[in-house]
Chain A
Amino acid sequence: MTETTVNTVNKKNLGRRFEFKFDFDTVLNTFAMWLLAFLWALPLLYAIWTAFHPAAYETRFELFAPLTLDNFVKAWNAAPFARYFLNTFLLVTLILTSQFVLCTLAAFAFARFKFPGRNILFTLVLLQLLVMPDILIVENYKTIRQLGLVDTIVAIGLPYIASGFGIFLLRQTFMTVPSELDDAARVEGVSFLGLLLKVYVPLAKPTYLAYGLVSVSHHWNNFLWPLIITNSVETRPVTVGLSVFAAIDAGVEWSVINAATLMTSGPLLIAFLLFQRQFVQSFMRAGIR
């Protein structure tokens, strides 16, 4: 009698333990995920909290603290952010358009033309991926000075325009275009440029979108090079402007700084939310640059 009870209990326990173990794993995973996500989001959450509340609540959490937009107004008036935004916008547009044009042409040549030295040239392009741009800062500065472009928006963008990553990414995409489409267009008498614009570019649209997002976010956030090459309000992008603004000697007003930070990263955050899927996919496919 007792033996059988014990047996059934054991069996039950075994079953339950099995189930419990399975659950435990999931719970742990989920918990870790939430924890990490929370830690990652914490600075942003803090920035949002301080930016929308009066300075008194900088280090105090109170659910029903009064909301305010004063910080944004203050920040906007304290530094020429409108100008900084315009600079960044011009910079990002300049870089993106030039990258699209250059990378498209180069990638098309690498993908579809056979010319002597093609592989060596492509290897050189790939080597560019191995070189951290920050290493070249001094060298780039010298070149820009010789060109007489110091403290211009063009100078900020110039070192990034011939992007090895862009060429590589587009070349890979162009190579997946079926050669029969190429043949069909050639039979119809399309010129090479027409072929590129009418067949290859439309088919590579997702790649352009992904690459565009990566490029824009990268150059929107870029800090070190613009900091070095610019020294006036007329050329400074938002990142540099923000750091100049935040480096106040007398007392730090976190709420105003955070409002400014939110403001400068706002467009990027919105773009990220809009194109989330392509953004994540592009990173998964291609690494970061």
Chain B
Amino acid sequence: MIQTSSLPTPGQAIELAAVTKQWGETVALKQIDLTVAPGTFTVLLGPSGCGKSTTLRIIAGLESASSGTVSIADRDVTLLPPSERDLAMVFQSYALFPHLSVAENILFGLKVRRTPKKQQRERLLHTADVLGLSPYLSRKPSQLSGGQQQRVALGRAIIAEKPICLMDEPLSNLDAKLRNSMRMEIRELQQTLGFSMVYVTHDQAEAITMADQVVLMQEGEIAQAGTPREIYQTPATIFVAGFIGTPPMNLIKAADVLQATAPGKGMEFLRGMHDSAANLSQSTSELLIGIRPEHIGTQQQASISAKILGMEYLGSDLLVTCRIGESILLARMPGNTEIAANETLPLVWAEENTAWFDSNSGARIRLD
């Protein structure tokens, strides 16, 4: 109905080059390099204290980088205040002004920038319509539910039609069901409006489902950046392997596996892989095998024998905890698999699903 504001906002690229942040002795970010392509959805993921929020605040301009440069659309913005970076931001606590009504909250930025009244009104009606907030415009934030407050915060971010939107754990205060539906909605908004999004979360489900690019951070460094598929299928370090996936990838000592493998029953590739991996890593440190729980199967003729420690029946799946040598691993099998407890379980998995890691450096050893 209102053409003026339904035009998609072209997203802009964001680039961080060697950004470092420190407070006195504590180093929060170490030489972060990050590129966000225009119009894409990037999720900064990581455990608490990994520096993801700091990174976001540096992009926003709410914190200054100790060194390095931040550029938006090829313009160096390192020293510019947030308002001159042409971006919108949604905060974890929503940061709604409690003394203003929903309409005034959404219009806050437009009023500050003295947008013409008529345009303010049109955009407000449109935004409220998109977010389903029309009946609540005259209410105060305290009279709304958590989900509605969240929408108001979204409204305040999208009404400005900025080319970049930053979100700092926006869904963490909602209940699980609402979180799922908001996840879809935010992704859809980003796709239709076309802005670039940088989204911070500690929830890997959010990252995997929403992102074009997942940036997994650990202790102020980027552990791996890539599409959700890349991150899941080819984790670059032990940390990534152990963080992504519920349950995450099994990391077991290669020596234990080799010892438990009987010759001539389909797992011979392990020996060969081990040798080339040992060659490549060129260190005396121990090698680890990474294997996702869902890639482990059982077969009569399989050659790795594992001792069953426990089983958890989840309906569609059966989670089996078992032991090979000193290593404990989890296998996710179809729910209809019949396994007797206290039995020795013959395990099998495919060559292409086997990942190798150097336990000292934590890095993946690429065999191809």
Residue of A nearest to B98 (CB): A203
Q: Name B's A-contacting residues (CB within 8 A).
A: 60, 62, 81-84, 87-89, 91-93, 95, 97-99, 108-109, 112-113, 156, 160
Which residue of the partner chain, among A178, A188, A202, A203, contacts B112 with CB atoms under 8 Å?
A: A188
Residue of A nearest to B105 (CB): A184
A-B contact count (CB 8 A): 54
Residue of B nearest to A189 (CB): B83
Q: Are A184 and B95 in contact (CB under 8 A)?
A: yes
Query: Binding site of A, secondary structure by majority: helix, strand, loop or mixed?
Result: helix
A15 at the interface (CB under 8 A from B): no
Interface string of A90-114 (1 = CB under 8 A from B): 0000000000000000000000000
Q: Are B98 and A187 in contact (CB under 8 A)?
A: no
Q: Are B92 and A180 in contact (CB under 8 A)?
A: yes
Residues on B with C-beta less than 8 A from A183 are 60, 62, 82, 89, 91, 95
Which residue of the partner chain, among B62, B88, B95, B160, contacts A181 with CB atoms under 8 Å?
A: B95
Tell me the minimal C-beta distance from B84 to chain A in angstroms: 8
In the bound assembly, the distance between CA atoms of A184 and B87 in angstroms comes to 11
Interface string of A182-209 (1 = CB under 8 A from B): 0111111110001000110011010000
Q: Name A's B-contacting residues (CB within 8 A).
A: 178, 180-181, 183-190, 194, 198-199, 202-203, 205
Q: Are A202 and B95 in contact (CB under 8 A)?
A: no
Q: Are A184 and B112 in contact (CB under 8 A)?
A: no
Residues on A with C-beta less than 8 A from B112 are 188-190, 194
Tell me the minimal C-beta distance from B237 to chain A in angstroms: 33
Given A189-B113, A194-B112, A199-B97, check contact A184 B91 (CB 8 Å). Answer: yes
Given A180-B92, A194-B112, check contact A187 B97 (CB 8 Å). Answer: no
In the bound assembly, the distance between CA atoms of A112 and B92 in angstroms comes to 21
Tell me the minimal C-beta distance from A24 to chain B in angstroms: 46
Given A199-B97, A202-B99, A203-B99, check contact A187 B87 (CB 8 Å). Answer: yes
Q: Which 9 residue pairs of A and B lie closest in terms of their CB atoms, listed nearest first? A: A189-B83, A188-B109, A184-B95, A180-B95, A202-B99, A180-B91, A187-B82, A187-B89, A181-B95
Residues on B with C-beta less than 8 A from A205 are 99
